[in-house]
Amino acid sequence: MAHDQLKLSNQICFPVYAASRLITREYQPHLDELGITYPQYIALMVLWEKDEISVNEITQKLILNTNTVTPLLKRMELQGLITRQRSNTDERKVIVKLTQKGKALEEKAAEIPQKLIEGLADSNMTVNELISLKESLYQIINFLHNK
């Protein structure tokens, strides 16, 4: 090969992409039990952290575009997990609020991270190494997002 920089094994993007896909695949059986997708799960995590926030705040937290988040939220509303309504103070804003059903999922979902860590126990990675990896990934995310 004339260009070593084009070898897949020399890329940072590929292992991040592959790890992301494979980690999401590990979540899937647990999310199937809850009847939600991974994108719905991360949107719910934002709302479990702070309920009654604008669509714009959700898009910022998830580093996604509004045209990606809006259809996701519409499906979640149809499932009875959230409600969406125009803000009383600014009609341009849509406020998203958890329903009782959406709030109830938090208890069930709370077990998922531990199950995934237990699943990684056979990988020879320590919890501290996983935390360090997460922090390194956030450094990359922050750099690229604020670029």
Residue 82: domain span: 9-110
**Considering the domain boundaries, does residue 118 fall inside one?**
no
Burial of 70 (0-12, 13-18, 19+ CB in 10 A): middle
pLDDT, position 102: 98
pLDDT, position 2: 83
Burial of 58 (0-12, 13-18, 19+ CB in 10 A): buried
pLDDT, position 68: 95
Distance CA 1, CA 10 (A): 13
pLDDT, position 75: 97
Q: How far is CA 131 from the centre of its chain?
A: 17
pTM flag (> 0.75) = yes
pLDDT, position 99: 98
Residue 69 neighbours by CB distance under 10 Å: 21
pLDDT, position 15: 95
**Considering the domain boundaries, does residue 137 fall inside one?**
no
* pLDDT digits (tens), the chain, 147 positions: 688 888 999 999 999 999 999 999 999 999 999 999 999 999 999 999 999 999 999 999 999 999 999 999 999 999 999 999 998 888 899 999 999 999 999 999 999 998 888 877 778 888 888 889 999 999 999 999 988
Report the CATH number that the domain containing residue 106 is assigned in CATH.
1.10.10.10
**Considering the domain boundaries, does residue 85 fall inside one?**
yes
pLDDT, position 124: 83
Distance CA 122, CA 134 (A): 18
**Considering the domain boundaries, does residue 4 fall inside one?**
no
Domain count, the chain: 1
Distance CA 37, CA 27 (A): 9
**Considering the domain boundaries, does residue 75 fall inside one?**
yes
